[in-house]
Amino acid sequence: MRLNGLLLSVLLLALPASATEDLLQFESAEQQQLYRQLTAELRCPKCQNQNIADSNAVVAVDMRNKTLELVRQGQSHDEVIDYMKQRYGDFVHYQPPVQLSTIWLWLLPLLAVLALGWTVFRRSDSSQTAVVGHADEQPDHSDLDAQLQAMIDEATAANRQQPKE
Amino acid sequence: MRKALFYVPLAAFLALSLFLLSGLFSDPRDHGSALIEKPLPAFSLPDLQQPTRLVTAADLKGEVTLLNVWGLWCPTCNAELGFLTELRQQGVRIVGLYYVQPVDAAFGDTFDINTLRLDVQDKLAEQGDPYLLNIVDEKRSLIFDLGVTGAPETFLIDRNGVIRHHHVGDINPQNWPKIQQLYQQLQQGGSDAP
């Protein structure tokens, strides 16, 4: 618990590091929100896995400026993303498009879950049929108890019939 | 059936290993270009030698051309000049697209095309001049429209002004043969190529 608190405070300390936004003027809070969202979603094509809000590479700065310009013109989220994709390709957006080449990103996890579910199902099914009669499930002991009781009775009866020598 | 299932984790592990192994040999800078088979974006930018003359996309048409994005500030580009000059001597048409880095006005930096022209002249006199002409993109507008991420980058443009190949990084004797193949194909394609 204390460790969690410590981790959380360290994470909170790291927050201002990504909030290096210049003093930009927006017409509305919506535009500001859109600009924030876009710069977080767009990926810097020069860097290895940084969004353009996070990078100071020349191309990232240019993309931020272009984003700002387009947002100020009143373009929508999708319009700005398309504008960037036309120039820098699908790579530039962190959300990959559903295509023949990317369909596996969705299919593979689905297939894995299905295959796993199927295996588990098969397994529980076969263990039920194969292991019936063994002590796998809650076995019925009444039979054994009866047998044991019968043996005890037999033994005591035999004992009585054979008195001490 | 059970036996087959037994080998599934092994197979999955091997497949994953192969996938990750192939990643070791891939170039992380290579993520395709959105402009292949598209015409050169429209532009109108000054020629470095005669800043009053504006170069447009139409000026590049007519011959297969290498459009080389470069800058004096970029060491790899400078290292590339020698080899590109050799290519020019072999008859390859190379047009430079000069990548102007942002100037920081806060530090009193300004951009002056005449200073740049003299600096470029000195450099090219020293290293060799591969360029038919140099287009100066002060605001990086064409550079942005071309999806350039840095320098050096080179575009192979056919006679009709259509971009056929986008090469990220320098051109050197090792990777030139591949580009040369495309270049020659386009040259032999004739002017009636689509």
CATH number of B33-188: 3.40.30.10
Query: Which two three-digit tokens encode residue B189?
Result: 């394609």
- Tell me which chain B residues have a C-beta less than 8 angstroms from the C-beta of A91: 31-32
Question: Coil, helix or strand for B154?
Answer: strand
Please report the DSSP string for B41-98 in residue order.
Answer: PP-EEEBSSSTTSEEEHHHHTTS-EEEEEE-TT-HHHHHHHHHHHHHHHTT--EEEEE
**Domain parsing of chain B, residue ranges:** 33-188
Smallest CA–CA distance from A86 into chain B, residue: B34
- Tell me which chain A residues have a C-beta less than 8 angstroms from the C-beta of B32: 89-91
Q: How does pLDDT run across A144-162, given as a tens digit for each residue?
A: 888 999 999 999 988 887 7
The verdict on a CB contact (< 8 Å) between B31 and A91 is yes
Cα dihedral B131, B137, B140, B146 sign:
negative
The residues of chain A that CATH labels 1.10.8.640 are 15-92
Q: How does pLDDT run across A97-116, given as a tens digit for each residue?
A: 898 888 999 999 999 999 89
Structure confidence at residue A68 (pLDDT) = 95
* Beta-sheet pairing, B65-70 with B94-99: parallel
Test the B interface: residue of A52, A88, A116 with most B CBs within 10 Å: A88
Considering only CB atoms, A87 lies closest to which of B31, B145, B150, namely B145
* Beta-sheet pairing, B65-70 with B153-157: antiparallel
The verdict on a CB contact (< 8 Å) between A66 and B144 is yes
What does each C-alpha distance from B46 to A94, A111, B63, B97 come to in angstroms? 36, 56, 20, 10
- Tell me which chain B residues have a C-beta less than 8 angstroms from the C-beta of A62: 102, 140, 144
> What fold is seen in the domain A15-92?
Helicase, Ruva Protein; domain 3 (1.10.8)
pLDDT tens, N- to C-terminus, chain B (194 residues)? 667 778 888 998 999 999 999 989 988 777 878 899 999 999 999 999 999 999 999 999 999 999 999 999 999 999 999 999 999 999 999 999 999 998 877 787 888 999 999 999 999 999 999 999 999 999 999 999 999 998 899 999 999 999 999 999 999 999 999 999 999 999 987 554 44
Q: How does pLDDT run across A60-97, given as a tens digit for each residue?
A: 999 999 999 999 999 999 999 999 999 999 999 999 88
